[in-house]
Structure 1
C-alpha cells in the first residue's frame, strides 16, 4: 500500500483551473448537483478533490479521485477501494484538523 502521509501531500488546483470553483456532478439517477471545490491534492501517485454540496456548509465533504479521461479531460470518480478511501479520508482529516 502506498504511503498516505501529510508530508507527501502536494496541493494542486487542476480541477479548479479547468472548471472554476464550482463543479456540476450527475448521480446515478441523472440528477445534477453543484459542489464547491474545498481542496485538491496529490499523494502516493494519485490525485484527489474534496468537494462540498454547494450552499450547505454543514454537509460532509466528499472525496473523489481525479483521473485523466479520454483526450486528457479531467474526471472525478468515486473511490471504490475501501482501503484507499479510508487512507485518503484519514489523511484529509489530519490535514484539516491537525493535532
Structure 2
C-alpha cells in the first residue's frame, strides 16, 4: 500500500489557510469546529484527518481530501468512496501506532 506521510511543514497550506481548527458547515447551516489531527498523502493525493470534541470522546475522526486550486486556495472534499476512506484511515492509524506491514 503506497503512502507517504509528509511532515506538517510540507503541507502547511492547509494549516496556513485554517490554523489548527477548521469550521465546517453542515447542510442545515450549523457550524462544527474540528481540530486538525494529521495531514498525509496517500497514493499521491493529500488528505486531512479532523476530529470534533464530540468525536474525541468516542476516539472517532473524519477524513477529507484536500483540494488546491490554481489560485492557491485550499478546500476540503468529502470522501464518498468507502475503500478510499478506509485506505486513508489505515494510513493515519499506521502513522500514529505503527504498522505490522512495515519492517
Relative to the length of structure 1, the TM-score reads 0.80
1:10 pairs, out of 2, 6, 15, with: 6
Map of 1:47-62 to 2, 5 A cutoff? 47-54=46-53, 57-59=56-58, 60-62=60-62
Q: Which residue of 2 aligns with 1:88?
A: 88
Residue equivalent to 2:41: 42
SS of corresponding position for 1:95: helix
CA distance in 2, matches of 1:56, 1:43: 23
Q: TM-score, normalised by structure 2?
A: 0.77
Could you report, residue by residue, the CA deviation over 1:54-94 in whole angstroms, capped at 9, with x for unpaired residues?
A: 47632412111100247331001111122211111111111
Q: Deviation digits for residues 11-33 of structure 1, max 9, x if unmatched?
A: 32321121111111011221111
- Provide the residue aligned with 1:19 in structure 2: 18
Q: Which runs of 5+ in 1 are unaligned?
A: none
Given the superposition, is the C-alpha separation of residues 70 and 55 from structure 1 closer, same or farther in structure 2, using an over 3 Å criterion?
farther
Q: 1:84 to 1:22 in 2, by over 3 A?
A: same
Long gaps (5+) in structure 2: none
Give the whole-Å Cα distance in 1 for the aligned partners of 2:94 and 2:56.
20
Is 1:63 aligned to 2:59, yes or no? no
